[in-house]
Structure 1
Amino acid sequence: MFQIKEKIYWVGYKDWELRRFHGEEYSTHKGSSYNSYLIKDEKLALIDTVWTPFHEEFVDELDHKVGIDKIDLIVINHCEVDHAGSLAHLLERRPDIPIYCTKKGSEMMQKSYHKNWNFNVVKTGDSVELGQYKLIFVEAPMLHWPDTMLTYVQGANLLISNDPFGQHLASPHYYNDQVDQGELFYEAIKYYANIITPFNKLVKAKIKELKALNLPIDMIAPSHGIIWRDNPMQIVEKYEKWCNNYHEGSVTILYDTMWGATKKMALAIAKGLENKGVPAKVINTAKYDKNDIITEVFRSKGIIVGSSTINNGILSSMASILEMIKGLKFKEKVAAAFGSYGWSGESVKIIEGWLKDSGFELVQDGKKINWDPTGDELKECIAFGEAFGEKIKSDGSIQ
């Protein structure tokens, strides 16, 4: 237990060894934490639990420090197993404890855990008096699940924000002013890019709604990673920027290659972009972490995507990344395609189809080269990059 406010404690679990999350879908190079919070007021309230593999340590620690029999209520902001996974083990000892959650939360927990627990369904504005403090609930559907809600602790000026405003980061420290800022904000933007991006409009609306409630907030405590106590609204301001079809005016070149021809094209295209003063990053999709790739796409105004042709298609790492990009529904970004081939040459057309279906504007025809590029053909690739760069102004807007 670690006290974060008067009568309020972090009772979560730091997972130092975690390297993959959501199955194998999300990389966690720095581990993560599952943040559960305990309020020891006149009533004792537990906000969320921890991921299922750590349920025994979690429940035993609670029982040792406060006593399971003393818990008056549990709030489940989100029923995914990294939040509610210890609930079944906890309720084996106290099946009568009231659980406060959204309507969707109760439905989804019954489907997930096959138990008809003592659910108390709440909606935005509903509250529970604890004594010195009062819990106020704010529904936040699809940020990032249908059941999601936030819990505001009135009297403590504390927003327990669930997945929004979090990061996958295990640290010996608890607060944002104690950790490396570059690392913190990279993990925060990576989390947004890979998890929250499809819900940009909902983020914008929910922040507007939250501000309209005029709740004083001097700490934001998410479900993963670091707690925001130093200027906590700075992460809200970041979300306001990120949800507005964010970019940094740069271009990311994504490629995969069999024998190096497509790589040569990618590097030449990057030279062309640099000639026009456009920052360019070159990434081999077969050798780079997929979630870090998505983060770079999120930060870019445009992407240029290339692959060799194989079996009348594209290389598997590129197909995987394009599938992820499509699902994230990026908006107001531009793109082009390139690639090398031996005899059939479908890759550029296939990539262009993926990009169009993913909502990217194709601003120039694709570039393909037969076999290994000659010196003149590499000059054409440089010109291809320059042409793309000319379409992006210094502020990242399109000419």
Structure 2
Amino acid sequence: MSFKLKDGLTWVGKIDWELRTFHGEEYSTHKGTSYNSYLIQDEKTVLLDTVWLPFAREFVENLEREIPLPKIDAIIITHGEIDHSGALPELMKRIPETPIYCTSNAVKSLKGQFHQEWNFKVVKTGDKLNIGSKEFIFVEAPMLHWPDTMFAYLTGDNILFSSDAFGQHYASALMYNDLVDQGELYQECTKYYANILTPLSKFVDKKIKEVVGLNLPVDMICSSHGVIWRDNPLQIVTQYAKWAQDYQENQVTIIYDTMWNGTRRMAEEIAQGIKLADDKVVVKLFNSAKSDKNDIISEVFKSRAILLGSPTVYKGVLSSVAGIMEEIKGLDFKNKKAAAFGAYGWSGEGVKVLSERLKDSGFIVVNDGLRGLWNPDEQAIDNCRKFGKEFITII
């Protein structure tokens, strides 16, 4: 499959409708993804990025239908991760001397993965590649989201090829941002930023300011996954700038797991207390054993506070709660408040354990939490509602 974006620019990537997990099993892709590769034809012909390894042969065969492979004068790899570079070994068998333009860190990455001595051309910020009436300007973008990442700007057409930045895991035959469902699009963009880029926000902020400071006109943003931004393309750049500033909305997310429904009932009654005190705040509840972890993290990203609940299990907590907190800790959220709760029948250490995990994960823990003995009775239910009311007043 190929798709002409404009004269001299053709999308030659792969839409992966079936993908349901990415980065191994770490990232859920409910709506599939795309691996965006672009063929740019001027006096010289350039291929920008390839596709994931399982589609390598299909990619090369389809590319050859577009152009005789020896006519490709240069290859640009914006990022060495295998979903961008996976088809290189298959392609380079056919055109082994074709130069590959990438950062020095990308050379290390590509050699480390494929163990090949290809014709690498190392570029850095400000370097250019003239292709005739236009030229590529390279901008290093380390830690968006690998050390080897770079952007490539095409003059004349005013296109920013942004690698993983501004992308999303979203399969659509419609291709463009203005044609797809806007709610779905921004949901996937938020999920991508929350789960992958949150701990790198300071790099995002710095790079956005640098790119904006170049004062380059941008008519289109072509990222490596998902749709192409052609309608008001800088809207996603503006959104990234907001997300990079310790983003939060008027939302409280309650994450819990339960054994015999005591902790579940506590979660629901605490939520009720929050809503009684403030009917404008958004409250969302997730059982961490039954909900997708990346979806939960997306909601934590949007929240100004979270509540974490588990029954006590042998002086600890249930594994799904411990697991989601390990994920959350690595994302290094800032300026979010939190508290813990949970039912118990024996010794009741679970709430203290959760409070410590919240502190270790960078949350501002606002109280000592709430413990409930066995299955909540009417008094315990009242205590949960009071706890919710008090929590929303102090966050």
TM-based fold match above 0.5: yes
CA distance in 1, matches of 2:199, 2:248: 15
CA distance in 1, matches of 2:201, 2:274: 29
Structure 2 equivalent of residue 128 of structure 1: 129
Native 8 Å contact 2:36 2:51 kept in 1: yes
CA distance in 1, matches of 2:387, 2:254: 12
Native 8 Å contact 1:273 1:279 kept in 2: no
Structure 2 equivalent of residue 218 of structure 1: 219
CA distance in 2, matches of 1:274, 1:53: 49
Q: Deviations over 1:132-174 (max 9, x none)?
A: 2100111010110010101111111000101010010101111
TM-superposed deviation, 1:290: 0.7
TM-superposed deviation, 1:326: 0.2
CA distance in 2, matches of 1:52, 1:7: 26
Native 8 Å contact 2:153 2:160 kept in 1: yes
TM-superposed deviation, 1:337: 0.4
Structure 2 equivalent of residue 24 of structure 1: 25
Native 8 Å contact 2:145 2:164 kept in 1: yes
Structure 2 equivalent of residue 115 of structure 1: 116
CA distance in 2, matches of 1:50, 1:188: 20
CA distance in 2, matches of 1:261, 1:292: 24
Structure 1 equivalent of residue 197 of structure 2: 196
Does residue 1:390 correspond to 2:393, yes or no?
A: yes
Q: Specify every segment of 5 or more residues in structure 2 that has no aligned partner in the other structure, as ranges.
A: none
User: Which residue type is aligned with residue 331 of structure 1?
Assistant: K
Q: Deviations over 1:258-302 (max 9, x none)?
A: 000000100010011101213211111111111000000000000
CA distance in 2, matches of 1:91, 1:118: 10
TM-superposed deviation, 1:319: 1.1
Does residue 1:362 correspond to 2:359, yes or no?
A: no
- Identical-residue share of aligned pairs (%): 57
Does residue 1:282 correspond to 2:285, yes or no?
A: yes
CA distance in 1, matches of 2:4, 2:272: 53
Number of aligned residues: 392
CA distance in 1, matches of 2:38, 2:315: 54
CA distance in 2, matches of 1:153, 1:190: 28
Q: Specify every segment of 5 or more residues in structure 1 that has no aligned partner in the other structure, as ranges.
A: 393-399
Q: Deviations over 1:6-57 (max 9, x none)?
A: 2011100000011111111111111100000010111110000000000011
**CA-atom RMSD in angstroms:** 0.8
Three-state SS of the structure 1 residue aligned to 2:166 is coil
TM-superposed deviation, 1:68: 1.0
Three-state SS of the structure 1 residue aligned to 2:351 is helix
TM-superposed deviation, 1:374: 1.2
Three-state SS of the structure 1 residue aligned to 2:387 is helix
TM-superposed deviation, 1:189: 0.5
Write out aligned runs for 1:14-163 (5 A): 14-163=15-164
User: Which residue type is aligned with residue 268 of structure 2?
Assistant: L
User: Which residue type is aligned with residue 94 of structure 2?
Assistant: R
Match of 2:382 among 366, 370, 379: 379
The more displaced of 305-314 and 212-221 is 305-314
Native 8 Å contact 1:336 1:366 kept in 2: yes
Does residue 1:310 correspond to 2:310, yes or no?
A: no
Native 8 Å contact 1:193 1:298 kept in 2: yes
CA distance in 1, matches of 2:133, 2:318: 60
* TM-score (ref. length: structure 2): 0.98
Structure 2 equivalent of residue 395 of structure 1: none
CA distance in 1, matches of 2:171, 2:183: 15
Q: Deviations over 1:184-222 (max 9, x none)?
A: 000000100001100111111100000111110010011
Structure 1 equivalent of residue 304 of structure 2: 301
CA distance in 2, matches of 1:231, 1:249: 27
TM-superposed deviation, 1:332: 0.6
Native 8 Å contact 1:256 1:306 kept in 2: yes
TM-superposed deviation, 1:64: 2.1
TM-superposed deviation, 1:5: 2.4
TM-superposed deviation, 1:256: 0.2
User: Which residue type is aligned with residue 4 of structure 1?
Assistant: L
Structure 2 equivalent of residue 338 of structure 1: 341
Structure 2 equivalent of residue 5 of structure 1: 6
Structure 1 equivalent of residue 325 of structure 2: 322
CA distance in 2, matches of 1:339, 1:207: 42
Native 8 Å contact 2:352 2:368 kept in 1: no
TM-superposed deviation, 1:131: 0.7
Q: Deviations over 1:77-123 (max 9, x none)?
A: 00001000101110011111100001100011111111111111110
Native 8 Å contact 2:14 2:35 kept in 1: yes
Segments ≥4 residues shifted beyond 3 Å? none
Native 8 Å contact 1:5 1:156 kept in 2: no
CA distance in 2, matches of 1:39, 1:140: 22
CA distance in 2, matches of 1:372, 1:64: 66
CA distance in 1, matches of 2:353, 2:92: 52
User: Which residue type is aligned with residue 291 of structure 1?
Assistant: N
Structure 2 equivalent of residue 292 of structure 1: 295
